[in-house]
Amino acid sequence: MRRDLANPRLLRVLNERRLLDQLHEHGPASRADLAKSTGLSKPTVSAALAGLAEDGLVHLVGEVSGRPGPVSSLYDMNAASTHVAGIDIGRDWIRVAVADLRGTFAGRTDGRNTARTSAELAGLVGELARAAAREAEVEWRTITCAVVGSPGVYDPVRGGLDFAPNLPGPPDLADRLRAALGVELVIENDINLAAVGEHAHGAGRGKANFALVSIGTGVGMGIVINGELYVGARGAAGEVSYVPAAEEPAAAAAQSADSFVAGGDSFAQGADAFAHGATEAVTSAPGVVRAARAAGLELETAREVFAAAADGNEAARSVVEAEGRRIGGLLVAVAAVLDPEVIVLSGGVGRNLDLLGASVERRITELGPLRPRVVASVLGDSGVLLGAVAHAKSRAWDLIFDARRH
């Protein structure tokens, strides 16, 4: 470690990153202000700024006058020097954003997910990504890093996706995406990225410990501990769709627990055996629709069920009440394990807290003394995309400074 710190190139890069972090967080500053805020000497700050400016990572943005002493030049990071991409692959929609190093969207393209095969899906993602780059007026090949948010758990050893029953051909999808995009690519669980987005822009901002529970087409959870995303030993932390449900559907109950190989190196066998977990089967949007039809309602979507409940339909209100109780039970389990500062509910079902809130709260009260604070996400359908961009931006910083060290 001491030998590394004695390396002049490494010291220079560490100083440069310290300055860029300061500019990123606080905006334009003079050399004197940067020296004061970072604790670096003025000559060190000047040398670091010169190197960063030469490579286009910082630039002059103005001057400060009207105070004693000479006029001071103001520097800021050149956010447009590098662009990243965030990609949200959902069952029904694909969303792509190209953003600068501050995370500001420069181009965004949304498109229906009409793919029936992994090849079609990868091709569609590639088309939308390049369309977003054109809108941002950048060449797609210059993108420093792209982060894809997808249902399921990415296994870096096999290069495949597990637990992604709502996507076509998950085993080879990762390879096809890499080939279609052709840039530095990170694949992450979509709900984990939604938690990253919530931490950066939503109800999780400023919270060191919180959980995001998403209930929509599927059920999942993203966990932030000590300000960092927690994914577990094999990336499956937060797969709460597999938590046992109080009312397990017959199809899920009939599965053989022996076929789930939890102790192996891969989740592949278990994922095949249990396409949808017991909690997901009854609590997700399709489960809400099944419950509504069982109650005699001829409705096609969970959105319609919640709309009917809002209009006063008693059968729909009973379905929503039961859904709230299921969610309340799940949130108590989350609170018992994680003790988060707040639990953020997201997804097409979960964010209907105005209709679900009372039954969720009643169920939580019935189950014991734990009282997690529960709020609805305010990021809407953009949570995963915002998290993907935030993650891509962080990865881009690492790539930039790794390159500068060599």
Residues in the chain: 406
Report residue 246's pLDDT band, with 50, 70 and 90 as the boundaries.
low
Percentage of the chain lying above the pLDDT 90 cut: 71
Residue range 31-40: average pLDDT? Answer: 93
Report residue 269's pLDDT band, with 50, 70 and 90 as the boundaries.
very low
Q: What pLDDT does residue 405 have?
A: 77
Contact 151, 216 (CB under 8 A): no
d(CA 261, CA 270): 6
Report residue 267's pLDDT band, with 50, 70 and 90 as the boundaries.
very low
Contact 320, 305 (CB under 8 A): yes
The angle subtended at Cα 401 by Cα 24 and Cα 18, nearest 5°, is: 40
3-state per-residue secondary structure call for 131-189? HHHHHHCCCHHHCCEEEEEECCEEECCCCEEECCCCCCCHHHHHHHHHHHHCCCEEEEE
Residue range 365-389: average pLDDT? Answer: 95
Average pLDDT, the chain: 88
How many Cβ atoms from other residues are within 10 Å of residue 405's Cβ?
A: 11
Report residue 255's pLDDT band, with 50, 70 and 90 as the boundaries.
very low
pLDDT tens per residue, range 293-315: 999 999 999 999 999 999 999 99
d(CA 54, CA 73): 16
3-state per-residue secondary structure call for 75-142? EEECHHHCEEEEEEECCCEEEEEEEECCCCEEEEEEEECCCCCHHHHHHHHHHHHHHHHHHHCCCHHH
Q: Is 218 left (phi over 0), alpha (psi -120 to 50) or beta?
A: beta
Q: What pLDDT does residue 257 have?
A: 38
Contact 319, 292 (CB under 8 A): yes
Higher-confidence residue: 149 or 252?
149
Instruction: Return the closest-CA partner of residue 76 out of 47, 125, 114, 33.
Output: 33
Instruction: Return the closest-CA partner of residue 38 out of 59, 60, 55, 14.
Output: 14
**What pTM was computed for the model?**
0.85
d(CA 220, CA 25): 31
Q: Is 229 left (phi over 0), alpha (psi -120 to 50) or beta?
A: beta
Residue 202: strand, helix, or coil: coil
Q: What pLDDT does residue 263 have?
A: 38
How many Cβ atoms from other residues are within 10 Å of residue 109's Cβ?
A: 19
> Which residue in the block uniquely carries the two structure tokens 């789930």?
260
pLDDT tens per residue, range 133-187: 999 999 999 999 999 999 878 777 776 777 776 677 666 888 899 999 999 999 9
Q: What pLDDT does residue 146 have?
A: 98
Q: Is the pLDDT of residue 211 over 60?
A: yes
